[in-house]
Amino acid sequence: MEMISDVLQFIGVFVSFSIAYVAYRGVRRIHSSSLLRLTAAFVFLGFGFAVEGFVGLSQVIPNLPFPTMAVVAGLLFETTGYFFLAFSHALDVMMSKRMGVALLIFPVISFSGAQLIDILSTLSFYFVLYGVVETLYSYARTRKPDTLLIAVGLAMISLGTFVQWLSLLYLNVDVLLLLQIIMKEIGLLILFIPVLNFAVGRVRLDGTI
């Protein structure tokens, strides 16, 4: 089961870096700061999945040394990625002069002496949840089916993050570990849809097919 979850982590690496690549192309072409933040978010998420994948492999394959701190580093990357995603939404909220930023501040003041891994997992959960709320708000405004799909994808990721947090409490339940990875992967695969749409749109625009 561990091996499956490690392989799934590397699918997450591929999806995250693909989204980051498309967003970075946007930064290069039109110098958009929103796309720069999106690039940063998915680069961090990609590194997070990669580190967590390698940590998992180090437990399965003997003689593959990996420091314990790598677990924290992986989670830190992941949380930073989700933070950039939430931060992008928060900036959009500020630019459209409506309330909603307070939701982002809430988790920062809600900890009291918890362990670092717990804090990172909880922060990730809040950041993704904030992303879900804002993406749903955006869908209500634009009625774009892709936006609704992304909201569903982010919701799956936030559920996965919640299960990850639960798996920290119940360390002996392997099913929770696999369940959180599957939820996150389904969420990430849904996030991959705009990348596919972008590729199709680009082919149409270039007229190469």
Interface residues with another protein (CB under 8 A) are 22-23, 26, 29-35, 38, 85, 88-89, 92, 94-98, 131, 134-139, 142, 144, 146-147, 149-151, 191, 193-194, 197-198, 201-202, 205
- Least CB distance from residue 80 to another protein, whole Å? 17
- For residues 62 and 207, which CB has a smaller minimum distance to another protein in the complex? 207
Interior angle at CA 194, CA 10 and CA 165, nearest 5: 45
- Least CB distance from residue 205 to another protein, whole Å? 6
d(CA 30, CA 178): 40
Q: Which amino acid is at 34?
A: S
- For residues 43 and 85, which CB has a smaller minimum distance to another protein in the complex? 85
- For residues 179 and 190, which CB has a smaller minimum distance to another protein in the complex? 190
Angle between helices 193-206 and 145-169 (to 10 degrees): 150
Q: Which amino acid is at 123?
A: L
d(CA 181, CA 86): 21
Which secondary structure element, helix H or strand E, spans residue 162, and what is its range?
helix 145-169
- Least CB distance from residue 99 to another protein, whole Å? 11
- 3-class secondary structure, 111: coil
- For residues 115 and 142, which CB has a smaller minimum distance to another protein in the complex? 142
- Least CB distance from residue 117 to another protein, whole Å? 28
